[in-house]
Chain A
């Protein structure tokens, strides 16, 4: 069912003003593009390019023409067909976090480095949870504990794709890494042609805000775009630190970062599916650190969704973020506020569930808790249906003053569609809560659920031939690093 976003932060005039400011920045200030092929694409399209500084100034008509080429909806195909995702600026899907540097160990409660086994567990849990659709993955991690550095992406991709039937993300970090991920995705898809026709992988490209596209990520953008694979171009401004402290200024700068990246993707291959991406937040000026759980992040997300909708492009944003180090009250309210502002604001791909500590750390329990929040967000997005059946005037009349509705068929009939059934929230009496759950906290509940999933959930296995071929590629990538070291 298409969703409508009830939260409007910007007026039409304000969106126009931000768009014009972004076009102005791209034309007058320009962007620094560190990758030579990308500069060539821009030059051929009519941009003015200064090769010595890498500065590219983009005429508004080039940008606007490119934005028109980006589709408003597209499908990312999952290995298990009914897990495929139809991305559109009228739907919300969730991208839970998988690959983070640290994990909060679910047995010891200590923070430690994330290993390949953790990646497998995280993906397996995300596979079991229905509101998670597009999975971030081990392929994105620059390093995975216990795995040779140069082969982290290959190991990370295999550990991810073999533990889920859902869509799995690839890395854009430099040409070779991007090529490896795409090659592995092609094996899963059944060949390169099949991959082009039925993309089963997507990636994130981060401009370096303000106004820069670095070499490695841009190489990745060109690789993914030339296969027509979906890309979210996501700027990560921190208000006051890497962008103006004013949120309007942040949005203008972010828009310039993002639409210049989207322009490149369309120049490489017209029609490349893209998301307008934001990971915008503020810097907490007293501690000097990024504040991803800030209410302003919620505002930025809702506003970004409106800007993307103005372009007719789906929007990827963040929600369920927190700066807390524990799954405590701070985590609870920050996650709820950021998730709900993003969801009600119209974000189409909601990234970051599963994280804590300003997204430095991932946690299995957090994946489970955030999934529950996502369920509530979907409920909120469905809104309130008003028609003769739901107004139920004859029913109210029949029950009459002072009656109750517990014994009515109408109640049973509409119960499931009207009410979200939480799996973690406890609504029993204090006595029952103490006796039946041993006074379990949210963390305890989530932990039990993690254990249950890990003990019982079996993801759909890969075809044995595909598995063997992917393992061969991983070994090949490992060996390539060994050769490079021997030659060095």
Chain B
């Protein structure tokens, strides 16, 4: 048992220190020691990254620490995922998010922060980058069996693409498959309501809260 605790400690430290190699090594050690991958994931990776996310939100740590640690978690997660049963994988994932900045808009930073915070909160995130054509959101969402689509727009002109994607989803008859969240400087709750998005978030922290609230609803309905 002491060995297991020591491994969890190594995993935690690898996240806090953003040491990718150590995260991989510790995850491999966990599997070699016959630990339950789901439990190891939760205690060794998810918990510390959540703590970092909360610390960032309290203005206690710097953004690059969070971004780097979220990347470390991805590296360690890959090792554990191999060992997860399909059922365990389902249980582990809080949601799969496909996210990007819409067509015609190259503002990158806000979306990148949202991505880091969502990853730190345990979401599987596919970041499509900037200037993303609307069909690409849908194609990738379908391919990755995503449940959430996130669109960032920083211009009052490109904000209209958020509406267009919702219309496109309607047209294809797949609107109900996705929880759609929108954000960016010109967007507001009223705008999100008027285009029929599921959620609007003012900042990255709020985006996590919105999606967590959704996850709770989904679980309680199931």
Residues of A at under 8 Å CB distance from B?
Answer: 101, 142-143, 149, 208, 212, 214, 216, 238, 240-242, 283, 285-288, 290, 360
> Which size class do B's interface residues fall under?
10 to 19
Minimal beta-carbon separation of B185 from chain A (angstroms):
7
B113 to A, closest residue via Cβ: A288
Which residue on B lies nearest to A285, using beta carbons? B62
Given contacts A142-B155, A242-B109, A288-B109, could you give 8 more A-B pairs where the C-beta distance is less than 8 Å? A142-B157, A212-B106, A216-B104, A241-B109, A242-B108, A285-B64, A288-B56, A288-B204
**Chain B CB within 10 Å, residue with most, of A238, A283, A290:** A283
Q: Chain B interface mostly helix, strand, loop or mixed?
A: loop
User: Looking at chain A's contact residues, is the secondary structure mostly helix, strand, loop, or mixed?
Assistant: loop
Please give the distance in Å from B78's CB to the nearest CB on chain A: 26
Closest Cβ neighbor of A284 among chain B residues: B63
Contact B156 A142 (CB under 8 A): yes
**Contact A360:B185 (CB < 8 A) given known A101-B156, A149-B157, A285-B63:** yes
**A285 and B109 alpha carbons, distance in the complex (Å):** 12
**B binding-site residues for A, Cβ under 8 Å:** 56, 59-64, 104, 106, 108-109, 113, 155-157, 160, 185-186, 204
Q: Are B62 and A101 in contact (CB under 8 A)?
A: no
B104 CB to closest chain A CB (Å) equals: 8
Residues of B within 8 A of A149 (CB): 156-157, 160
> Could you tell me the distance between the alpha carbons of A288 and B112 in the complex, rounded to whole angstroms?
10
| B203 and chain A: residue at smallest CB distance | A288
Provide the residues of chain B in CB contact with A238, threshold 8 Å: 109
Residue among B63, B104, B160 making CB contact with A288, cutoff 8 Å: B63
Contact of B157 among A143, A208, A290 (CB under 8 A): A143
8 residue pairs, one from A and one from B, having the closest CB atoms: A143-B156, A285-B62, A142-B157, A286-B59, A288-B63, A285-B63, A288-B113, A142-B155
* A–B pairs, 17, beta carbons within 8 Å: A101-B156, A101-B185, A101-B186, A142-B156, A142-B157, A208-B106, A216-B104, A242-B108, A242-B109, A285-B62, A286-B63, A287-B59, A288-B56, A288-B63, A288-B109, A288-B113, A360-B185
A404 → chain B closest CB, angstroms: 54
Complex: chain B residue closest to A241, CB-CB: B109
B59: which A residues are within 8 A, CB to CB? 286-287
Closest beta carbon of chain B to A360's beta carbon, Å: 7
Residues of B within 8 A of A143 (CB): 156-157
- A149 to B186 Cα, complex, angstroms: 14
B104 proximity list for chain A (CB < 8 A): 216
- Which residues of the partner chain A approach B186 to less than 8 Å between Cβ atoms? 101
- Scoring B56, B108, B157 by chain A CB atoms within 10 A of each residue's CB, the highest score goes to B157
Contact A214 B106 (CB under 8 A): yes
CA distance A208 to B160 in the complex (A): 22
B34 to A: closest C-beta gap in Å: 40
Rounded to whole Å, the gap between the CB of A80 and the closest CB of chain B is 32
Q: How far is the CA of A142 from the CA of B64 in the complex (A)?
A: 31
> Is A283 touching B106 in the complex (CB atoms < 8 A)?
no
With A and B bound together, what is the CA distance between A288 and B202 in angstroms? Answer: 13
What's the nearest-Cβ distance from chain A to residue B64, in Å? 6
Contacts of A142 in B (CB 8 A): 155-157
Docked-complex contact B63 and A283, CB < 8 angstroms: yes
CA distance A285 to B60 in the complex (A): 10
Residues of B within 8 A of A287 (CB): 59
Residues on A with beta carbons closer than 8 Å to the beta carbon of B108? 242
Point out the residues of chain A lying under 8 angstroms from B63, CB to CB: 283, 285-286, 288
Cα-based distance from A216 to B105 in the complex (angstroms): 10
Question: Please, which residues of chain A bring their CB within 8 A of the CB of B157?
Answer: 142-143, 149
CB B110 to nearest CB in A, in angstroms, measures 8
Query: Is there an interface contact between B155 and A283, defined as CB atoms closer than 8 Å?
Result: no
